[in-house]
Every structure is written in structure tokens, then in C-alpha cells.
Structure 1
Amino acid sequence: MAVDQQAVKRHLADFAASRRGVEAYVEPPTNVTATTLILIAHDGEWTRRAAGTRQAAFDLASSLGIPVYDVLHTGYPQRMREWNSRQRKRD
């Protein structure tokens, strides 16, 4: 399945522009998903999109002008887990 790179870039650019302290994390492919790029804001809110390849994910994050990390090396930030926990309690 091909990734619509323009739609992905628009979504991620909109997310990054409308939130503070956004960082990107490249997630490896799994048996059921392609390589993904997850953006995480200062408060832990996040969004994820398929990026195609690892290099495409790094290039996309760099084009947005935000820090980018390999989640296999850094793990996920605590603020993301805290945001997820707050969302579960709200629902």
C-alpha cells in the first residue's frame, strides 16, 4: 500500500504548527504496519502517520524543522504516557 506523502506531510505540519514543543519519533515497521512517524507535543498529545520508510520518516521530520529521534534508542517520553492515561480517565 502506497503512502500519500503529501497528505501525511500536511497532517503532521498542521499538528506541529498548532502545538508547542513538538518532537518526532520514528517507529520501526511491524508485521502489520509500515514505518511510522509519531509527533508528540509538550503536553503529551500525539499523532501518528505511516511514513513509508525509515529514511522517509527522518526526512519528513527534518523538513518540519522539529527534533527527530529513533524510538528504539530513546523510548517514548513520559509525557505521552501521562497524556494517554488522562485520556483513558476522561473516557
Structure 2
Amino acid sequence: MSRLSRLFSRRPAPSASSAGPPASTGEARRATLAHLEEFVRTRVGVEAYVEPPTHDTGATLLLIATTGEWTRRRVPDERTAFDVAGSLGIPVYNVRFTGYPQRMRDWNSAQRRR
């Protein structure tokens, strides 16, 4: 088990009443970590922003490159998000305090115009 994979192990095992087999959860975790690692590896100046859970979704980890391109993935909790970002070796911020960077809004606007 890789160091990043262990970060997700804090999440309790699914109960018998929860949907989906446990094996798919492990596969989803590996896919999430692989996606985040690939994003950091293939972009310049990536920073992480931890988003708190909301009524509709759990905590998320948002990665934003210097170009404003971004990706977001759900994580078990905020602490795990900070740990994953730290493991990726990138700066990490709490979006409650910093807000979203202008480059992300600019990138989103450019994508809508296309």
C-alpha cells in the first residue's frame, strides 16, 4: 500500500447496508490518487485548495495549475485533503480563508467562451 493510499484508510469500512462492494471503493481511491498525482506531474505550479463539506457533498481537494486549469476530487475529510496535498509536495490552502484564485475564474471564463 502506497503512502498516499494509506491516507484514505481513515475512512471507515462501508457497512453492509451501504451501496457498492468494498473492492470498488479501493479501486476508486487508487484512481483518485492516480488522477491527482498525474495532474501535479503534468502541470506547472499546482496548488491545492481544501474545500469543506457541504450539505450536498463531502470534503473535496481542488488542484489548480498556474494556467488556472483545475481538477476536483472528493476526499474522506478535510484532514485527509491536507495530508494528500502534503504528500504531493504542493502548497495547500484552506479555501475558507483564501477563497479561489483569480486564475481559476479566468480559466473558467475562457472555457465558457470556447
**Gapped regions of structure 1 (runs ≥ 5):** none
Q: 5 Å matches for 1:1-91?
A: 4-90=28-114
Question: What amino acid does structure 2 have at the position aligned with 1:75?
Answer: G
Shift of 1:8: 1.3
Q: Which has the higher helix share?
A: 2
Output one character per residue of 1:4-60: Cα deviation in whole Å (capped at 9) or x when no partner: 332211100000000000000000001110100000000000000001101000000
Q: How many percent of aligned residue pairs carry the same amino acid?
A: 59
Give the whole-Å Cα distance in 2 for the aligned partners of 1:29 and 1:6: 21
Question: What amino acid does structure 2 have at the position aligned with 1:83?
Answer: W
Aligned to 2:3: none
The TM-score with structure 2 as length reference comes to: 0.75
Give the whole-Å Cα distance in 2 for the aligned partners of 1:19 and 1:83: 14
The TM-score with structure 1 as length reference comes to: 0.94
**Gapped regions of structure 2 (runs ≥ 5):** 1-17, 19-24
Matched positions, count:
90
Computing the radius of gyration from Cα coordinates, the structure with the larger value is: 2
Q: Which has the higher strand share?
A: 1
Higher relative contact order (CA 8 A, sep 6+): 1
